[in-house]
Amino acid sequence: MFRRIILILGISFFSVGAILALIGIGFGLRHWNNISNTDPVTATIIDINRHATHDGYSHSVFVEYEIDGTMITSRLNWWSSGMRVGQPIEILVDRYNPYRVISSGILGWLASIILLAISLPFVGIGAGFLIYNRYTQRRHQYLLEYGTPVWARIQGTDNNWNIRINGRPATVLVATYKNLRFTSPALDNNDLMHLDNREHVKVLIHPDNANMYIFDFRDECHRIPFEPPA
C-alpha cells in the first residue's frame, strides 16, 4: 500500500509539473513568435493617464511613432515609474499590424517564466517520489528472492503519524523475532483481514543487514499454519 501511495504521488506531482512546464514553454514560444515578426521603432510618449482601481492605481501610456511616413498613436500594455511625457523609448511594432506594439522586456516573458518556475518543484518532487519508488521496488524484489525468512510474533498494530491517509495516521503492524523488532509499511484492509487471529507473520530479512526487511503478505504465505515451524 505504501509503495502504491508513493507511486501515485510521484506520478501526480510529475504530471502536474510537466503540464505546467509545457504550458510555460507554449507561452514562451508564442511570445518568441510575436517578437520575431516585429520591427524596432523609436516612439515618443505623448500621454500617461493615471486612474484609480479597486486595488490602487493603473496607468495608460500612449506613444506616437512614424511608420512609412504615417504617424501612428498606440497604447502600451505596460508602464514603469521612470516613464515621462515627451520621453523617447524603443518599442517593437508588429510588421503586419503597425498599430500593435509588442513588449520585448520581462513582461512579455512573465507568464512563461512564472509557469516554468512553478513547474520545477513539482517535477523535482515527482521525480524524487518515482526514484524512491523504483529503489524500494527493486529492494522489495531482491528481498522476495533472497531474503532470509523468519516467523515474527505479532505484537499488534500501531499508528504511524508520519503517513496520513485522509487526515488519519496509517496503520502499521509491529512484530518481533528474538531481539529484532519489525514495523510494516502502511496496511490496507486486505492485509488486516489476512492477519486476523494470527500470532505470527512471515518476514524476509536481508542476508547482510537485519535493518532491511519486508513483511511477506503473499497469498501462499497465508496458507502456512499460524505457528512457525519448529
Q: Give domain limits for the chain.
A: 2-116, 147-222
**pLDDT confidence of residue 193:** 65
Residues in the chain: 230
At residue 68 the predicted structure's pLDDT band, cuts being 50, 70 and 90, is confident
Q: Give mean pLDDT, residues 82-88.
A: 90
In tens, the pLDDT along 19-34 reads 999 999 998 888 788 7
Residue 158 CA to residue 166 CA, distance in Å, equals: 17
Tens-place pLDDT, residues 39-61: 889 999 999 888 877 777 788 89
- Residue 35 pLDDT grade (very low, low, confident, very high; cuts 50, 70, 90): confident
Mean pLDDT calculated for residue range 107-136? 89
Under 8 Å between Cβ of 93 and 66: no
Calculate the CA dihedral of residues 32, 38, 43, 47 and round it to 10 degrees: -60
- 2-36 vs 106-146: helix crossing angle, rounded to 10: 150
Higher pLDDT, 103 or 83: 83
**pLDDT value of position 25:** 93
Confidence at 105, pLDDT banded by 50, 70, 90: low
Query: Which of 106-120, 141-155, 161-175, 202-216 shows the lowest mean pLDDT across its residues?
Result: 161-175
Question: Which residues are paired to 56 by β-bridges?
Answer: 53
Task: Please tell me the predicted confidence (pLDDT) of residue 226.
Answer: 40
Mean of pLDDT values over 34-41: 84
Give the global pTM: 0.58
For 145-158, the pLDDT digits (tens) are 899 999 999 888 88
**229 DSSP assignment:** P
> Between 133 and 187, whose confidence is greater?
133
What are the beta bridge partners of residue 175? 154, 182
Mean pLDDT computed over 195-201: 76
| Burial track 66-92 (b if 16+ CB lie within 10 A, e otherwise) | eeeeeebebebeeeeeeeeeeeebebb
pLDDT grade for 198, boundaries at 50, 70 and 90: confident
Phi, psi of 65 (to 5 degrees): -150, 165
Percent of the chain with pLDDT over 70: 84
**pLDDT attached to residue 128:** 93
In sequence order, which residues have a C-beta less than 8 Å from that of residue 200 and are 6 or more positions away?
151, 152, 153, 154, 175, 226, 227, 228
Long-range contacts of 125-130 (CB under 8 A, 24+ apart): 125/13, 125/17, 126/9, 126/10, 126/11, 126/12, 126/13, 126/14, 126/15, 126/16, 126/17, 127/10, 127/14, 128/10, 129/6, 129/7, 129/9, 129/10, 129/13, 129/14, 130/7, 130/10, 130/11, 130/14
- For residue 100, the 8-state DSSP code is -
Arithmetic mean of pLDDT over the chain: 83
Residue 147 DSSP one-character state: P
Whole-number pLDDT of residue 221: 44
Higher local confidence (pLDDT), 117 or 50: 117
Among 126, 128, 173, 122, which residue's Cα sits nearest to residue 152? 173
